[in-house]
């Protein structure tokens, strides 16, 4: 089994922001030389996450961040002293990883699907890890 890990650097510019990383993941998969297998995208942070959702209409990710902000308000009597409890909660709601099938050397995404890095306590310099695993 062949594997390759690529580190993506992501610089967020807003406090709450979804940054599309589909092309970086596509490049990491292409560079790995793997034709068929799986690709794991993992975010090693406690106030950021990764998700797969629509990349055609930018209002979709705007609606996602807006509604997450309503579900998890920034101030709500949290006990976490750092003051960013809401960002930790959103991180767990959205999740730290996504898995995508690789077919013919590319991530097998639906027509409207993109891979999104989710910043919940930015702006910051962030990382995402892309682990490509060959099925052979």
d(CA 10, CA 21): 9
Is the CB of 6 or the CB of 84 nearer to Zn ion?
84
| 109 contact partners, CB below 8 Å, separation of at least 6 | 22, 52, 100, 115
Q: Least CB distance from residue 80 to Zn ion, whole Å?
A: 5
Stretch that binds Zn ion, among 5-13, 77-85, 97-105, 127-135 (CB under 5 A): 77-85
Shortest Å distance, C-beta 103 to Zn ion: 39
CB-hemisphere CA count at 13 Å for 52? 17
Binding flag, residue 82, Zn ion (CB under 5 A)? yes
Tell me if 36 contacts Zn ion by CB under 5 A: no
The answer to the question of residue 84 lying near Zn ion (CB under 5 A) is yes
With CB under 5 A as the rule, give the number of residues binding Zn ion: 2
Which residue, 85 or 102, has its beta carbon nearer to Zn ion?
Answer: 85
CA distance 64 to 57: 12
Closer residue to Zn ion, CB minimum distance, 33 or 83: 83
In whole angstroms, how far apart are CA 1 and each of 4, 37, 39, 102, 132? 10, 10, 13, 14, 10
CB of 93 to Zn ion, least distance (A): 15
Task: Supply 86's token pair.
Answer: 């809401």
Cβ nearer to Zn ion, comparing 12 with 84 = 84
Which one, of 2, 11, 10, lies nearest residue 39 by Cα?
2
Instruction: Give me the residues that bind Zn ion (CB under 5 A), please.
Output: 82, 84
């Amino acid at each position: 089994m062949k594997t390759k890990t690529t580190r993506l650097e992501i610089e967020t510019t807003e406090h709450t922001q979804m940054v599309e990383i589909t092309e970086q993941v596509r490049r990491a998969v292409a560079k790995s030389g793997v034709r068929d297998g799986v690709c794991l995208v993992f975010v090693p942070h406690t106030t950021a996450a990764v998700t797969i959702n629509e990349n055609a209409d930018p209002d979709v990710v705007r609606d996602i961040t807006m509604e997450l902000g309503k579900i998890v308000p920034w101030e709500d009597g949290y006990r976490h002293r750092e003051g960013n409890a809401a960002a930790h909660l959103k991180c767990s709601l959205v999740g730290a990883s996504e898995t995508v099938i690789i077919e013919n050397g590319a991530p097998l995404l639906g027509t409207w699907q993109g891979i999104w890095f989710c910043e919940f306590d930015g702006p910051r310099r962030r990382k995402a890890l892309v682990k490509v695993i060959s099925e052979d």
